A = this chain, B = another copy of it.
């Protein structure tokens, strides 16, 4: 399980055994049960996540309805906005499946960054990369219809459609569950 993390890190920097051990000594590996809430709206937090196994999601509570806006699965790193802005969180974070995560906090990062400056470099590269990827995702979302978004998701993250409840997928696609259901049957009809 630890190798998954080190594999991920190796995409950005190379680590010595000492550095690996320093990371492991922080005890950042955690098992989290399905349904667990990791962060609530209104809370302050300085915790970042990395998904080794499983799936977590962010959702807003708007007019009494959950609006799921993001899913993080294997090999996804995620720092909530509220950690960066140091304001109360606008959204909830919750476990979609039983998951294994690394959960680190700002102090740990500060410690590691000061001990091993190359972590700073990794963080920069990673967030630049995520920023660019998210920009592309956002642009695709803007320039396509709900149906195109669904078909696009089917190509890019087919696993999500299997492992995640439909009503969560719907708001992820920016529509209502009924519309997703209808849209799916419309696509099936077209195939025949």
Determine the chain B residues whose CB is within 8 A of the CB of A27 once the complex forms: none
Number of copies of this chain in the oligomer?
2
> A173: nearest residue on chain B (CB-CB)?
B142
Complex partner residue of A139 from B60, B83, B128, B139, CB under 8 angstroms: B60
Interface size, A (range): 35 or more
> CB distance B91 to A139 under 8 Å?
yes
Q: Does A141 contact B (CB under 8 A)?
A: yes
Complex Cα–Cα for A86 and B81 (A): 27
> CB distance B81 to A136 under 8 Å?
yes
A51 to chain B, nearest CB (A): 16
Q: Does A123 contact B (CB under 8 A)?
A: yes
> CB distance A69 to B171 under 8 Å?
no
> A123: nearest residue on chain B (CB-CB)?
B124
* Chain A stretch 144-186: residues in CB contact (< 8 A) with chain B: 171-172, 174
A183 to chain B, nearest CB (A): 16
A129 to chain B, nearest CB (A): 6
> CB distance A84 to B132 under 8 Å?
yes
A150 to chain B, nearest CB (A): 14
Q: Does A53 contact B (CB under 8 A)?
A: no
Complex Cα–Cα for A81 and B135 (A): 7
Q: Select the residue from A85, A90, A135, A139 with max chain B CB neighbours within 10 A.
A: A135
